[in-house]
Amino acid sequence: MEPSSAYLIWMAGSTLITAGAHYLISSSLRRRAMNAGLTWLLGITLGLACAKTVYAVIEMLQFWMATGLKNYRFWDALLSFDVYRVSFFGGVLGVCLGAALAGRLTGNAPMRALNVYAPAGMLMAALARFGEGFLGFLGAGRMMKINGLSFFPIAVVNEWGEGRLAVFMLEGLVCLIVAAVSLRASSQDRFIRTLFYLCLPQILLESLRDGGLVVHEFVRIEQLISMVTVETVLILYGVWAKGKKRRFLPAAVGLMMAGLFVAVEFTLGGKLFNGTGGGEDFGFLSHALAEEEEFWEDAETWAEEAGGSELLIPCLSYGVMALGLALLAWMERLGYAKIKDRMK
């Protein structure tokens, strides 16, 4: 069976499981069965439409930044049946719109419908991530440097026996955990908090992916969308916490973390620290180093010595990023504590 056919069958099954889960947890909604059915139908339709549209827009942006739009065929990207040419967050947007619209059509407030749907939505996200395993490179990370760990579900092994980090499994697992936490959380603000925790780990996980859609240099578009969503939630908390002290502190920390994450990405891309102490974009430093003739001598000996640091920079970089994400999670709790009684 073609990988894309297997993926589509998996996704179709996943939507049915999600619809069942949604029905089970939506007892507080009016016209429960109709709402679950409509959410399923509209979720598929709008989810697909938005996943394709957002991808086409991103691709158009890529074209525009690279060469201009003369040769770009927007409708080709939009109407192609290529399962690789879809945006995950576009799909999330479409499914959320579908759930809100279904709520409205069944006489429920859209936000209330979204709050109820959030855990089921995360289950769908988890299943969609697991399904990426059928698509080869799409959900996999870089080549594993530690051969002993090259086995499923940690890695996917290709025809040459090379293991690649199974990022899609990690993403699916994270989505499942968020779904479980979301289910236990208070139904008020459940949607916005679930969205926050869908995007927060994705900032790191997107960086681990190999085939992410890059718009410019190291800017991965889905990572950017995740960061923007996280920051928007923190800003919204600040706005809603009117009159409270230091209400924009979480948003300010969010901005600082965004800067830190950019630095981490540049480090991972070898543009800040790469064993020579500088990067190609830092002209003054590179020139200073280039003048040091001795610096370049005995390069092959250096390489042997540098072998040990091959994993050091990624480990340190991702460690810093994980700490930054933990700080953002703490900021979210801090921000939410200021607004959780706003409905009373």
Partner 1 sequence: MKLGFRRLAALLCCALLLAPYAAWGEQDHIVELPIDFSPGMPVREKYETGKMTYDDPSIHVEREYNKAERYHVVRIKIATPNQLRTVAAESFNSRAKVEVSTMARRMNAVVAINGDYYSEHPGSFVLRQGQVFRGTVNENRDILLIDEEGNFRIILAEENPGDMDLTQIDGKKIINGFEFGPALVRDGIRVQDDSKSPTNSKPWEDAGRICICQTGELEYMIVACKYWTMSVSRMTDVVMSFGNVQQAYMLDGGLSVNVVFLGKKINDTDVTTVRPVPDAIYFASAYDPN
Query: Which residues contribute to the site for partner 1 (CB under 8 A)?
Result: 59, 62-63, 65-68, 70-72, 84, 136-138, 140, 142-143, 160, 162, 210-214, 216-217, 268-271, 274-276, 280, 283, 286-287, 289-290, 295-297, 299-300, 302-303, 306, 309-310, 313
Q: Which amino acid is at 186?
A: S
CB of 52 to partner 1, least distance (A): 17
Whether the Cβ atoms of residue 140 and residue 121 lie closer than 8 Å to each other? no
CB of 160 to partner 1, least distance (A): 5
Closer residue to partner 1 in complex, CB, 190/209:
209
Residue 311's nearest CA partner among 275, 277, 339 is: 275
CB of 325 to partner 1, least distance (A): 23
CB of 79 to partner 1, least distance (A): 17
Q: Phi and psi (nearest 5°) for 219?
A: -80, 105
Name the β-bridge partners of 214: 220
CB of 193 to partner 1, least distance (A): 32
Name the β-bridge partners of 302: none
CB of 48 to partner 1, least distance (A): 21
Burial of 294 (0-12, 13-18, 19+ CB in 10 A): exposed
Closer residue to partner 1 in complex, CB, 84/318:
84
Ramachandran region, residue 139 (left: φ > 0; alpha: ψ -120 to 50; beta: rest): alpha
CB of 95 to partner 1, least distance (A): 24
Closer residue to partner 1 in complex, CB, 295/318:
295
Q: Which amino acid is at 67?
A: T
Closer residue to partner 1 in complex, CB, 294/341:
294
CA distance 253 to 230: 11
Closer residue to partner 1 in complex, CB, 65/337:
65
CA distance 9 to 131: 9
Closer residue to partner 1 in complex, CB, 31/210:
210
CB of 224 to partner 1, least distance (A): 15
Whether the Cβ atoms of residue 312 and residue 320 lie closer than 8 Å to each other? no
CA distances from 117 to 20, 32, 91, 171 (A): 11, 11, 15, 20
Closer residue to partner 1 in complex, CB, 264/339:
264
Residue 226's contacts (CB-CB under 8 Å, 6 or more residues apart) are 89, 199, 200, 202, 203, 206
CA distance 55 to 168: 19
Closer residue to partner 1 in complex, CB, 197/266:
266
Name the β-bridge partners of 50: none
Whether the Cβ atoms of residue 77 and residue 85 lie closer than 8 Å to each other? yes
CA distance 220 to 226: 10
Q: How far from each other are the two terminal CA atoms of the chain, in whole angstroms? A: 55
Closer residue to partner 1 in complex, CB, 151/280:
280
CB of 212 to partner 1, least distance (A): 8
Residue 63's nearest CA partner among 72, 55, 54 is: 72
